[in-house]
Homo-oligomer: A and B are copies of this chain.
Amino acid sequence: MSSEFELIDTITAGVVVGDDVVVPVGDDAAVLSLAGHTVVTTDMLIENVHFKRQWSSARSIGRKAIAVNVSDLEAMGARPSSVVIALAFPKDLDQQWVVDFEAGAKEECVAAGVSLVGGDLSSSAHVAICVTAIGDMEGTAPVTRAGARPGDVVAVCGKLGWASAGLVVLQRGFGSPKDVVAEQLTPSVPYGQGIAAARAGATAMLDVSDGLLGDLAHIAESSQVLIDVDTALIEIPEQVQRVAAATGKPPLGFVLAGGEDHALAATFPPGAPLPVGWRRVGTVAEGSGVTVDGQPWDGSLGWDHFG
């Protein structure tokens, strides 16, 4: 393997640097010129816990590492600005894996509109990745989980159920339907929709990483409201239906309880028009917890339970 410094040169070559980057990668820290409040989130991806190298290409893992972090910025209604990437990997790992990982990360940075401004390389027994994403609020107020009010509309944007269907396919040793597997390997985050929701008056928002019902329960708890999901409003994608049929699992379970899709879920004032791409799935009421079609949800559709 070439030296760490040569590897860093390879990684940082061709990095897109946004106008808001004052000091780019290469100094003790990066310096950003942000507008309004600064938004920060971090997530770690660990080999054999969050991904398997035999299932995912290095490029997919690089893309996913960026996507799942920028998704958290979107969920605040922020404008994503930049990311830093810390990567630890075994000394005997093929250097091409690292180059491909970083190429995937840079590719997703372009898709998400963020600059790669810093990083850290270490050795470790297994691959460990930590991405921190930075954004700004451009003068608007952050959309937390705590602002939902009775009467609000619950809506989602992005794919639901695809990633968990893809996981079931992979666990059975298959590689298709390819589009659900692709969503498991690299979720397609609805970039730009967090700001769109904030501008449309979203009162609460989060990204769906643990499953729609479980994540809506976080909004219900933080906002001290009840959220009811209307299954008549839930679309079950044809690809998810195919996986459900092939595996004997309830199709609704994938959509309501499957995790890792990184769709956005938000609440909007009753009169507000939803932004393009958002679809209504339920209603906020007085009370607490989550109901499905008016019936208390006890978590039994949770990912661990419906498998």
Contact = CB atoms under 8 A, between A and B. Distances in A.
Interface of A: 22-23, 26-34, 37-46, 48-50, 72-73, 75-76, 78, 82, 84-88, 117-120, 122-126, 128, 130, 132-135, 137, 142, 144-146, 205-207, 222
Contacts of A29: 39-41, 72-73, 75-76, 78, 133, 135
Given A30-B41, A207-B28, A142 B86 contact: no
For A29, A72, A73, A207, which residue has the most chain B Cβ atoms within 10 angstroms?
A: A29
A207 to B, nearest CB: 6
Nearest to A30: B40
For A23, A39, A49, A82, which residue has the most chain B Cβ atoms within 10 angstroms?
A: A23
Nearest to A36: B33
Contacts of A120: 42-44, 130
A31 B39 contact: yes
A124 B49 CA distance: 7
A244 to B, nearest CB: 28
Contact of A84 (B48, B132, B135): B132
A242 B86 CA distance: 37
Nearest to A81: B38
A43 B75 CA distance: 25
A116 to B, nearest CB: 11
Contacts of A222: 26-27
Nearest to A119: B42
Contacts of A22: 37, 142
